Structure 1
Amino acid sequence: MPGQTKYFISNTNGFFVNWYSDITGVESHGQALKVSGNSGDDAVYVGQGTKVDATGLTSTGGNDSIYLTGTFNNYEQTLDGNTYTFKRTVTIGGTDYQEEVSFTASNGDRVYFANGFFKIDITGNDGLLNAGVFQKIKSTDIDSSSITPTDPLTSQPAIDKGTASEVGATKVFISDNNGEHITPGVKGSVFKISGNSGNDTVYVAKGTKVDATGLTSTGGNDVVYLTGTLMNTPNKQ
């Protein structure tokens, strides 16, 4: 298991975490994330071949959402108390990667797949909680009216979250001393990143703000990618 990158969401209006990138040099597959949410409606997009611990996202209030790129039947499901885990193996560039996400059952949260979604309603009649014992989600529980978007950064859920993201910076801590890639954020997102001794990489997407002083001061040959030319970027004296 790779060392986890930890995201702490301070924005109480809801935040969209994109944990996917196929950009050369900033690929997300093979990486692991632990995300802690806030009281808003937070969301996390789980990229192919990544591992995400979202138990700290779904247990902190708000109607949170988890987006998976496979269909419901692509995943093996396990249940421990009220913690659900979905996992599968994907092949990327000829290499097999374990994809995995864990979350706790919380009223109003949603889990999206490529073929539909499931809304958790513990107090309702969805059958998830039976005689005080949580049950596995079944394929017949999936609602096909809404699915995981193919491009997380331009999807409506991400755009909606981005409009209020500047309320508070999301704090990112890299614990893997072998180096990690910080995936592009949604337009409007603000990040404050603390790196480790490895060669860390961050991609500053258009319309985002990144404080990388804690990334480049912790050792390693770190890389910051900007989307504009040098002449496009004001240099404060």
Structure 2
Amino acid sequence: MAGWTVVTGGSRGIGAAVVRRLAASGRDVVVGYRRDREAAEARARDARAADVHAAVLQVDVADPASVDALFDEAESFGPVVGVVANAGAATVTGRLEDVPVEAVRRDLDVLVLGTLLTLRRGVPALRRAGGGAMVAISSGAATLGSPGEFVHYAAAKAAVDTMVLGLGRELAEDGIRVNAVAPGLVETGFHLDPDRPARIAPTVPMRRVGEPHEIAAAVAWLLSADASYTTATTLRVAGGR
């Protein structure tokens, strides 16, 4: 399907891998970012090298006006047929009783409200395009709970799974599919403890850390026509964990 795909948090980590994968498959992409414009511009240059169109737009996904502006500008380029709600936050770790409430609130604003606002605003955009697909990035933490690390993050990702379930069913007759990918332990700069991947890897049945491109492949499949009968579903990509 010709048109643009909006990727929030597209400047680094899983988001950057998604941008690369979508560009390689011929999709025009909007690289949404919050702070690091230089990294976002680099992702857009890489995408253009794959002979697709790419644009860089700043967005604060927890701000409804900012999300509206993102989609308004994206639609000015052409029809938006895909959305990847990838922007995330995990700024505090530890036992829930010890983490500052304001830090938890900031994370939940991005993880829950930000994902909800992105998907919500994506609906009219995709409807105007005649249909399409949206993918939210969840986490294997949603079913593991992440005790002693970030219970609030796990709870937020469980909320994302519920959003996808409800919205996917809500839009099933409208030609708009809504799914999620739940990564497990992945090698990105997202970990507050840089030693965490090596520490957790032995608990993964496949005995290794995942790579961002492995998550991006699942996202690309869910956006593609190959997943035409898949909606309201969370696809776990977690090495068996």
Using structure 1 for the length normalisation, give the TM-score: 0.31
More helix by share: 2
User: Which entry has the higher C-alpha Rg, 1 or 2?
Assistant: 1
Q: Is the strand fraction higher in 1 or 2?
A: 1
TM-score, normalisation: structure 2: 0.31
